[in-house]
Amino acid sequence: MGHPAEHHAADKTKTQSLFALALGSIGVVYGDIGTSPLYAFREALKPVASDGLTQLEIIGLISLMVWTLTIIVTFKYVLFLLRADNDGEGGTLSLLALLTKSVSGHRAFLMLLGLIGAALFLGDAMITPALSVMSAVEGLKLVAPSLHSAVLPISVVILIALFAIQSKGTGMVARFFGPITALWFIVMGGAGIVHIFDDVSILSAINPWYALQFMLNESFVGIVVLGAVFLTVTGAEALYADLGHFGRRPIQWAWFTLVFPALTLNYLGQGALVLQHPEAMSDPFFLMFPKWALLPVVILATAATIIASQAVITGAFSLVRQAIHLGYLPRMQILFTSETNTGQIFLPAVNTLLLVGVITLVLGFESSDALATAYGISVTGAWW
């Protein structure tokens, strides 16, 4: 038996390691889902607002968003799918490999579904950086309307710089980005708490009946709105794909202690703000903040969206490596960026392909509004 002091030291080291990995996962794994509040509620309001907004519609929308996060991310991914790893690796193709091992028939069909899911995820890995970065940089228009024409070039420069640092490895990125993203979630949660008191009736959205009632009352418009509601879970598929980088426990711990509470509070705060000030629906996220805080928040949001892009890029590297191992893609150069963690990799060819795709999307769509519909389709397919 070891000395009690040795056990205490070992437990302390284990706790510190869990905390460090959880903090890293907040940056790499949850960066994507953490930027959804920038645009998800704004986009969901548009189809409903054409004939004016009612209190029940706003509460119903927020209820849909909260319960989409709860059911898809908490139950499906964090509690269930993170347990379905393939030798420590996660992602669509890991799930496919597990299924083909255990199911004798329908292998061709399962393979087709797996490859479609992988293709949608790679589409997401291109659309996420374009939409997220543009959404944040567009906040400059509220700070100074004259900066409108600078949004596109600033977005392109940021994205090129992001892909240029990929070869440094996930470990470096996680150490640098984790604390910034943690601060982002704290700021979002804090803003949400402040604005919930604008109209506390928004707390009714915690009751799933309001989400169901919204869908029953809105009929076809409700189905259209679902495409925007699914934007709240962007990055959930990256959460599973990045399982090999951080492990199950740190990812789960980060979700329940910080990420989920902050997202829920922020969506409730946005809903309360629009209930009290309907004109805020034009940009409910940035309008949560006073004028003096707007520029710092835009800078923090831009940093957070760079990190969001990192989450799906990291996931794309993992996905392509699995596809190569399973024989679905030809062999290509894979560089290991960590001496201790084999899950931390860099694929130069994939990095270049994603960069070209992202810049093409930014220059082609020119605004986050135009990209949001394409993103909803990609996300819906990927999480199914």
CA distances from 99 to 88, 95, 103, 118, 321 (A): 15, 6, 6, 15, 18
CB within 8 A of 100, min separation 6: which ones?
Answer: 107, 110, 111
| Span 309-325, pLDDT tens digits | 877 787 788 778 777 77
What domains can you pick out in the chain, each with its CATH number? 32-383 (1.20.1740.10)
Residue 87 has pLDDT above 70, yes or no: no
pLDDT of residue 241: 59
Query: Do residues 91 and 243 make contact, with C-beta atoms less than 8 angstroms apart?
Result: yes
Q: Please, how many CA atoms are within 13 Å of residue 321, restricted to the half-sphere of its CB? A: 24
* Higher local confidence (pLDDT), 49 or 279: 279
> Which range has the top average pLDDT, 115-124, 152-161, 232-241, 344-353?
152-161
Rounded-to-integer distance, Cα 181 and Cα 235, Å: 14
Tokens read off for 81: 């799918």
Q: What is the pLDDT of residue 383?
A: 46
**Among residues of the chain, what percentage have pLDDT more than 90?**
27
Alpha carbon distance 340, 318 (integer Å): 16
| Predicted local confidence at residue 27, as pLDDT | 78
Residue with tokens 């950086």: 129
What pLDDT sits at residue 14?
57
Say if pTM beats, i.e. exceeds, 0.85: no
The pLDDT of 99-112, averaged and rounded, is 60
- Which regions of the chain does DSSP assign to beta strands (E)? 335-336, 345-346
Residue 95 pLDDT:
52
Q: What mean pLDDT is reported for the chain?
A: 79
Q: Tokens standing for 364?
A: 């082609």
Name the residue type at position 341.
Answer: N
Higher-pLDDT residue of 378 and 59 is 59
Of 144-153, 294-303, 306-315, give the range with the top mean pLDDT.
294-303
Q: What is the pLDDT of residues 66-80, one digit of tens each?
A: 999 999 989 888 887
